[in-house]
Amino acid sequence: MDSSQWLALPERRPVARPRAVVVESWDRARRRHLDPERLLPDLEVAEDTLVDVRTGHPLAAVLPVIRRLLVQDAEGSGLLVAVGDEHGRLLWVEGDPDARRRAEEMRFVAGAGWAEDRVGTSAPGTALALDHGIQIHDDEHFNRLVHGWSCTAVPVHDPETRRILGVIDITGDERAVDPHTLPLMEATAAAAEAELLVMRLRQRAAAAPGAAVAIPLGPTTASGTVSAPAGSAVDRARTASRRDTRGREVLHVLGRDTGELELPDGGSVELSARHAEIVTLLAWHREGFAADLLCDLVYGEGGSAVTLRAEIVRLRRALEPTGIELASRPYRLEGALELDLHRVVSLLDRGAHRVALAGYLGGPLPGSDAPGVAEIRADVTARMREALLAAASPDVLLAYTATREGADDVEVLRELLRVLPPRSPRRAALVARLEQLERSEP
């Protein structure tokens, strides 16, 4: 009897043989004498030790990255995001509250062990066993208690040794195994690994401020010279001997109409749309602006310098708790402040397209009509598009077509069609999408 017959439900026999990767996983479970009818995962991390285990795990440091890229979109979606350690023990399970309550019935909770050698085929356990990303659909799960759920998971590696540190998983209905989910998960894992590496380089730079740090430089200034992003590892290495710092301030403006200023102590300050526009302009152009030019960049033609000065006064008041100072003549920021779009551009310049796309949540301040912000937005969007068209892999291009900017981009869709393998199942949908867009063109 083969594995597919062995696992088939009496009332619901599979209509086709499962994928080879699933059959091989089932066979491993059978050799371990696991019972698909009685596989309730054990709680391998006790509740009273869970906080300590989480705190001591390397992925705790990059949890904000994972939350920003995955968890905030999972709220209200019926999806769960789980992060586990290298042993398959779930350390964090977050996302939709209703889904979390339902998942408790199969013990998909923090502390539970989901390694393949203990519960059979599942995305988190099998991804760790195979050391690559995988999607498991519904009754492909070995454990029948998990039938009705689908999941996608990818391992996360140490950025230097490549040792497996843990796993990131999305669990829910069929949306959890959407074709775009696996590239997104792989990009999130790459972003987490990149953040770990940057943290280590920052620590080394702080320990030896005179040493060179091999981090590529970031965007160009208004004068056309290349500059290190404020707050980047290069900038911190240059200034570590001059000022004592426990971290950096980061202004998040990608895909949002207001600014969220992330502080080194873990706190944050919300900036209004207008204040976010001004700070974005001054963080992007570190040399600053004369009052009349900044007025034009914020308000456009007809803007009033008096109005700008009043807004600057309010902005200084808003920045008081952060320690960031706004100098005059010209208006400029004193101290290090990094924009999230600095990171994206720097990653693009390094050729890390997958990680850059994972961090690209949309153009900066998409609701802003400030001329200076519109110029930055057009520049960053164009850089992203050109870099992906020039050198990105098919899966990254496919992920880009799921964004607002890429969904209707005929040139990107044609390039994706060109680089996909001839027998790729994705080609038919691409051709249909292109035909639809071309018919709608005037």
Report pLDDT digits (tens) over 312-330: 999 999 998 888 889 988 9
- Return the structure tokens found at 102: 């339902």
The secondary structure of residue 242, as a DSSP letter, is T
pLDDT in tens, 58-75: 999 999 888 878 876 666
Rounded Cα distance between 271 and 268, Å, is 10
pLDDT of 279 reads 95
Task: Tell me if 302 sits within 8 A of 255, measured CB to CB.
Answer: no
* Bigger pLDDT: 403 vs 205: 403
Of the candidates 314, 322, 274, 323, which has an alpha carbon nearest to the alpha carbon of residue 294? 274
**Bridge partners, residue 166, by sequence:** 85, 156
Whole-structure pTM over 0.75, yes or no?
Answer: no
**Bridge partners, residue 395, by sequence:** none
pLDDT in tens, 234-290: 333 333 322 232 346 889 998 888 999 988 777 888 999 999 999 999 999 989 999
Percent of the chain scored above 90 by pLDDT? 43
Question: Where do the domains of the chain lie, and which CATH numbers do they carry?
Answer: 3-197 (3.30.450.40), 215-339 (1.10.10.10)
- Residue 374's pLDDT band, with cuts at 50, 70 and 90, is very high
How many Cα atoms are found within 13 Å in the side-chain-facing hemisphere of 60? 10
pLDDT in tens, 75-122: 667 899 999 999 999 999 999 889 999 999 999 999 999 999 999 999
- Residue 227's pLDDT band, with cuts at 50, 70 and 90, is very low
Percent of the chain scored above 70 by pLDDT? 85
Give the pLDDT mean for 364-368. Answer: 90
> For residue 217, is pLDDT > 70?
no
> For residue 9, is pLDDT > 80?
no
Q: What share of the chain is helix, strand, coil (3-state, %, to 5)?
A: 50, 15, 35
